[in-house]
Amino acid sequence: MRKISILGATGSIGQSTIDLIRRDSSAYDVVALTGGANIARLAEDAISLNADLAVTAYPDRLEELRAALAGTNVEVAAGQQALIEAAERPADWIMSAIVGAAGLAPGLAALRQGTTLALANKESLVCAGALLLDTARAHNARILPVDSEHSAIFQGLVGEDMSAVERIIITASGGALRDWPLEKLAGATLEQAMHHPNWDMGQRITIDSASMFNKAMEVIETREYFGVSPEQIEVLVHPESMVHALVGFCDGAIMAHLGAPDMRHAIGYALYWPDRRDLPVERLDLARIGQLNFATPDPARFPALGLAYRVMSRGGMMGAVFNGAKERALDHFIAGKIGFLEMASIVEHVLDHFEDQSGLIDDAMTLDNVLRIDHLARQRADMVMTKQTG
């Protein structure tokens, strides 16, 4: 049996992973499941999958988890250190789907045991791409991309020489507000930003889709994972969300990856790699679809994209600054403290503050240093928010 763990099991990626595992549960020995505040879901999945360990990120929910798993053989634990220890338990394949910078330390812990890490936590590559990739190389571990765009790029490069790659194009749905008049965006509410036209995701990723901060993160991810220059990375708004990414080669050819907007495509590819297996996903009927549309993103509507290219140009640990500021600005928008467009404004001001601080940004990329930068960026974002709101 193949030993697997799922970090972030109660989120949308984790639940889609569990859906695939349940279809062939006899093939897997589930070592650990981790989650957040959805204790009932975490306990239910731990019991049904006969997991060895269940961990909640919240120490104050430990007793609730323990009660939910009373009478079973499932171990329980809670807190950040427990998440790291869960990732350290020997497994052949580990899904990293914890949301935010909190997923970095468990992901590094998993890589240090030389396993295959299915990476859905985009913040890890944005904050500490070099550290993550160096750790994988040092321990003969493997990182497989699970973001649909990066999985698509990865598949488009099978059998290809990277030196022949001319450009990489990732697509964006445009989010819930893509058809809004520009002058109305400043007044967009939390509820309006959360109504994605193509799929149902978690609150934070849906808002990041509307602001295109998720795509800004994916641009940085593309550079880190595939080693291409920022100038080789392009973004197109593609409302149908069926073309996930395209790879352009020096002979003018473009390889496009198409599929229904279903994360089980990318998860299944990583789970079964290097093989392909049947997946319970929709098969595209291109004749019925009729047409696919693409457009260049408007920089005034999506300022986050320009900030991503600025981060890549500066280098060092500016990715950690960007992510920390973005996460904090998103917190403030969700809390109703700032408007929709103020998120990008806050991130820009934080980048301004850190850009010339070479003593911080160009320091050695260690986990401690990345977490320190992340903390400082969040603090600065709070200061900017306080000044902007008076």
The annotated binding site for 1-deoxy-D-xylulose 5-phosphate is made up of: 122, 148-149, 173, 196, 209, 214-215, 218
Nearest to 296 by CA among 240, 214, 236: 236
Residue 169, CA distances (Å) to 65, 151, 232, 268, 281 in order: 43, 13, 8, 22, 24
The answer to whether the CB of 80 falls within 8 A of the CB of 103 is no
Helix, strand counts (H, E) of the chain:
17, 11
Round to whole Å and give the CA distance between 368 and 370: 6
Cis amide prior to 106 (ω within 30 degrees): no
Nearest to 49 by CA among 82, 27, 79, 71: 27
Which residue ranges are tagged as binding site for Mn(2+)? Answer: 147, 149, 218
Task: Please list, in sequence order, all residues whose beta carbon lies within 8 angstroms of the beta carbon of residue 208, skipping any fewer than 6 positions away.
Answer: 214, 217, 326, 330
Nearest to 125 by CA among 192, 217, 39: 217
In this structure, is the dihedral angle defined by the CA atoms of residues 21, 24, 28 and 31, taken in order, positive or negative? positive
Round to whole Å and give the CA distance between 80 and 104: 11
Task: Please list, in sequence order, all residues whose beta carbon lies within 8 angstroms of the beta carbon of residue 278, skipping any fewer than 6 positions away.
Answer: none
Helix (H, G, I), strand (E, B), or coil: what is residue 48?
Answer: helix
Paired tokens of 146? 């699970």
Which residue ranges are tagged as binding site for NADPH? Answer: 10-13, 36, 38, 121, 123, 202
Which residue ranges are tagged as binding site? Answer: 10-13, 36, 38, 121-123, 147-149, 173, 196, 202, 209, 214-215, 218
